[in-house]
A and B are shown apart, each in its own frame.
Chain A
């Protein structure tokens, strides 16, 4: 419920030093962040990074071992009804009551938040309309397709008109049409209705398109929090050039071992000479090499990289490689994510 429209400059949710441990595993380690009114905050991290645990503590589902989450200054820890009523959570897994109709589910959850039934019913109809389920209002949830169930799962978090909406992987399992619809809806929640949306996702494109700011978390710790543009700028301005290679002389170097291959140093010098990328902009974990190689793909980051293609191919051929496909693209949030979290699998 939104008694006061949020102001975009105002902090509506503040997490302070949230810490959660499961046995020997430190799932979340002194995580602090603030979410502002009307913003979409992307919450990114590899599997097992602690995202779900962190949002569980933010919405009152989990009790932190240390730290606290405040919603409009009210602590969430004790299950404060007013704090809970200001937050809506759409969990990653679809949680519905299969033998209730779409509208009945919304009415029921609305009543759990203390809404009078007529209000919950009216708002339920509005929400079903917005996610394209108006015609299914009186259908049992179990008869809906997977995508429809996901959309219903999403609007169940909104029935009580919360000020803060936490969406755990909202686009997972949706077809392209469903993704567009949900994405537009999430955007409208923040832009038109002033909601604060905290969004966890593995879809970097989704985060890039939607999020005003992005937080990257790994091994329970917050690595960075900034706008997508600033993060991309930090990792490397300009373009990304990817060249597939094969048949390195003396056999292909082992994974990652190519970092020290002479040709990579040559390419890096080319890239630096072109734009200085990777030297001036990047800091900390994001100070990624301007040139890297994974498997049979060599990646160069450089401003105006299109003019590097010929020189790079020549250098590779001179070193005995056989260049294959060449791809040129802009730096993406995925590059940022990989730069911060690395390439190794977590789970």
Chain B
């Protein structure tokens, strides 16, 4: 047989085999379109709106004609009007009055930036505007003014400097501020700017900012190992052999899971150890970060069991495992931010759809501990969420596996 004929014969044979494994073929074909639709739904056809908290301490100033000048309020209104070309909001502006709770919101990644407008914001701008109109404009930093030396009000930007969302939202906010000030005073920037890093985010190297994400990656990839280990028992028929023993599905899956969690914790420790060797230092207690990694492992293994329940063998487990992997990687905020729409509030925490993905909580908790220096108490919510999700996914995995592979049908 000539080569092209053999090649075509192999092509035809492979095509036949593939068409008879419709489940895997369908998964391979629909994966990307499915996530396109999902992303479109998440962004409601638009783009991310970056969360900006505004602590507006500005006390309005009275004008000569008796009207009130509220620069802070005008700036906030300006921020709310920042939109994409499509008209979708670019900044999701929320007002706050408590600095500490606002910082906690930043740490939880429910907002990217906290903008603090000082008490003298309006008065300062007004003074500069009047000085400009008199022609004795004063440079920023304060010098001569209508009633002595002008002191420029200080606008403060607070956020996690390692966060990409902070970078984007601070640039957009600054541009809006500059535009507003230019219009209001004719000055380029007649205010002082201060940037206050959240936790130790200001002193982190770029390398250090990547470590939490890599840690999540090392744990997330366990989904394959967990699913494939269980699926191998199905593929080889071992489950059939064990089905005639008094063993239960819980025995089987808990035993395998325990092993996978051990592997996961080892992976976490190795990742930390390697990072430490190359200069990475945790700002918070390292044991808390390790605990977060361990609990995350548990939840990822739970998801692996769900994957295994739908798998007839190792190949199935690998293909199906990509679906939750994409969720874990791209829908958790580990790679880049996603719009957060709260479904409900639980214990003061807004719960969005991504909060059902374990990695979402792991990203937040690890960032808090490693970058912001948080302790156990400050990541308690994330830890509890991870434990609950682990239990839910494990229970779902056991139930599904029991029904699909262990039930005496």
Contacts and interface: CB of A to CB of B under 8 A. Distances in A.
Interface of A: 59-63, 77, 79, 81, 84-85, 87-89, 91, 93, 95-98, 109, 112-114, 156
A91 B241 contact: yes
A87 B242 CA distance: 13
A95 B236 contact: yes
Residue in A79, A93, A96, A113 whose Cβ sees the most chain B Cβ within 10 Å = A79
Contacts of B343: none
Q: Which secondary structure dominates chain A's binding surface?
A: loop
Contacts of B408: 60-63, 77, 79
Contact of A97 (B236, B407, B409): B236
B246 A156 contact: no
A61 B246 contact: no
Nearest to A160: B245
20 contacts: A59-B244, A61-B243, A62-B408, A62-B409, A63-B408, A77-B408, A79-B246, A81-B246, A84-B245, A84-B246, A85-B246, A91-B237, A91-B240, A91-B241, A96-B236, A97-B236, A112-B245, A112-B246, A113-B245, A156-B241
Contact of B240 (A61, A81, A109): A61
A91 B407 CA distance: 18
Contacts of B243: 60-61
Interface string B140-162: 00000000000000000000000
A112 B236 contact: no
Interface of B: 236-238, 240-247, 251, 407-409
B244 A61 contact: yes
B237 A95 contact: yes
Contacts, number: 51
A172 to B, nearest CB: 15
Contacts of B409: 62-63
A90 to B, nearest CB: 9
B312 to A, nearest CB: 15
A96 B409 CA distance: 23
Contacts of A63: 407-409
Given A61-B408, A63-B409, A97 B238 contact: yes
Contacts of A98: 236
A95 B240 contact: yes
B236 A84 contact: no
The 4 nearest A-B residue pairs measured at CB: A81-B246, A112-B245, A95-B237, A63-B408
Nearest to A112: B245
Contacts of A77: 408
Contacts of B244: 59-61, 84, 87-89
Given A60-B408, A63-B409, A95 B238 contact: yes
Contacts of B245: 84-85, 109, 112-113
A112 B242 contact: yes
Contacts of B236: 95-98
Contacts of B240: 61, 91, 95
A343 B172 CA distance: 85
Contacts of A85: 245-246
Residue in B242, B244, B408, B409 whose Cβ sees the most chain A Cβ within 10 Å = B244
B398 to A, nearest CB: 16
Contacts of A79: 246, 408
Contacts of B241: 89, 91, 95, 109, 156
A87 B243 CA distance: 12
A112 B244 CA distance: 10
B175 to A, nearest CB: 61
A113 B241 CA distance: 12
A79 B246 CA distance: 7
Nearest to B245: A112
Given A60-B408, A112-B251, 5 more contacts: A61-B243, A62-B409, A96-B236, A97-B236, A109-B242
A81 B241 CA distance: 15
Contacts of A93: 237
Contacts of A81: 246
A202 B243 CA distance: 25
A212 to B, nearest CB: 24
Nearest to A89: B244
Residue in B236, B245, B251 whose Cβ sees the most chain A Cβ within 10 Å = B245
Contacts of A112: 242, 245-247, 251
A79 B243 CA distance: 9
Nearest to A159: B245
A79 B407 CA distance: 10
A124 to B, nearest CB: 15
B230 to A, nearest CB: 13
A113 B237 contact: no
Nearest to A166: B244
A113 B246 contact: yes
A105 to B, nearest CB: 10
A87 B236 CA distance: 22
A63 B251 CA distance: 21
Contacts of B407: 63
A174 to B, nearest CB: 19
Contacts of A109: 241-242, 245
Contacts of A95: 236-238, 240-241
Residue in B237, B241, B242, B251 whose Cβ sees the most chain A Cβ within 10 Å = B241
A113 B246 CA distance: 6
Contacts of A97: 236, 238
Contacts of A60: 243-244, 408
A255 to B, nearest CB: 34
Contacts of B246: 79, 81, 84-85, 112-114
Nearest to B243: A61
A153 B16 CA distance: 34
Nearest to B241: A95
Nearest to A59: B244
A112 B237 CA distance: 16
Nearest to A78: B408
